[in-house]
């Protein structure tokens, strides 16, 4: 059984139309190519023979000073026989406006209880898109040093 792992912090930055991020030193995040992305159907995907559940929760900006947030949840069997994935990059696209937000998780929480591994990656300071709008979400997971782009399809921005 693995011991719980503490939170890890990284940066989340807006690269397209939207609110300006807090001072992040003018760093621009660009996710890699999504060529060959695997479609996630009903939240389920299999990577390296391991079935996992991947979901995105997008929340609209709560105030004028803050932007949209994301939470990416990944659940899979907890086993020393396979490596747990990491969430490397998240792309949220609003194709109707030719806009996109590429971001890295700001915090990552991992827990392992001997039967289930749960990874939750959070990002914030996104654009001020309208709650209820449908956007396309792509998530890049890394498993055992190999990167897997996953398309989650249309997701709705929640209030």
Residues 36-82 have pLDDT tens digits of 999 999 999 999 999 999 999 999 988 888 899 999 999 999 998 99
Pairing of strands 107-112, 116-123: antiparallel
Cα Rg, the chain, nearest whole Å: 15
- Answer whether 0.75 is exceeded by the pTM: yes
> Tokens standing for 139?
């998530």
Cβ within 8 Å of residue 148, ≥6 positions away = 38, 47, 85, 140, 141, 142
Q: What domains, with CATH codes, occur in the chain? A: 5-18+44-158 (2.60.40.10)
Helix (H) or strand (E) holding 71: strand 69-77
Evaluate whether 24 touches 13 at the Cβ level (below 8 Å): yes
| Percentages of the chain per state (helix, strand, coil), in multiples of 5 | 0, 50, 45
Residues 111-148 have pLDDT tens digits of 999 999 999 999 998 999 989 999 999 999 999 899 99
What does the alpha-carbon distance between residue 66 and residue 23 come to, in Å, rounded to a whole number?
13
What does the alpha-carbon distance between residue 46 and residue 81 come to, in Å, rounded to a whole number?
15
């Amino acid at each position: 059984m693995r011991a719980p792992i503490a939170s890890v912090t990284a940066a989340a930055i807006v690269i397209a139309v939207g609110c300006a991020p807090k001072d992040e030193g003018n760093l621009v995040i660009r996710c890699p190519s999504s060529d060959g992305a695997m479609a996630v159907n009903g939240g389920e995907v299999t990577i390296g023979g391991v079935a996992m559940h991947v979901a995105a929760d997008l929340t609209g900006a709560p105030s004028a000073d803050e932007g949209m947030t994301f939470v990416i949840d990944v659940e899979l069997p907890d086993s020393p026989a396979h490596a747990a994935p990491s969430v490397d990059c998240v792309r949220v696209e609003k194709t109707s406006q030719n806009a996109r937000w590429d971001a890295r998780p700001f915090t990552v929480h991992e827990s392992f209880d001997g039967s289930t591994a749960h990874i939750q990656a959070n990002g914030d300071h996104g654009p001020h898109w309208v709650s209820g709008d449908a956007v396309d979400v792509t998530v890049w997971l890394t498993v055992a040093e190999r990167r897997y782009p996953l398309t989650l399809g249309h997701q709705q921005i929640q209030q």
